[in-house]
Amino acid sequence: MILQIFNWSVNLKELLFKYRLKKTIKEADQESRLFKRKYLVIVFAGKPKVYRKSALKELINRRAMFKKGVTVQQLEKMAYYSTP
């Protein structure tokens, strides 16, 4: 009985992550169509978030969130989704 409850809680976390991911992908698509810019869906602190590609470049230059040597190309490979 205890194992069944534990397995349910793990699946609940996965379902919540998938729901958040779908929601952020839709948000990225809408903003991309509206503003004609490229957006990436990247996971930070366990939650998927939408970032504009040019904003990521600025953050890398200021070294606000990333270590030295990180590039936008690496972030694009790590991204769950990128708009065309």
Q: Is the torsion defined by CA of 38, 41, 43, 45 positive or negative?
A: positive
User: What is the Cα–Cα distance from 25 to 52, expressed in whole angstroms?
Assistant: 13
State residue 65's pLDDT score.
82
Overall domain count for the chain: 1
Residue owning tokens 């991911």 = 21
State residue 3's pLDDT score.
59
Domain containing 73: what range?
Answer: 2-82
| pLDDT tens, position by position, 50-66 | 999 999 999 999 988 88
| pLDDT tens, position by position, 23-51 | 999 999 999 999 999 999 999 888 999 99
State residue 67's pLDDT score.
85
Please tell me the pTM assigned to this model: 0.80
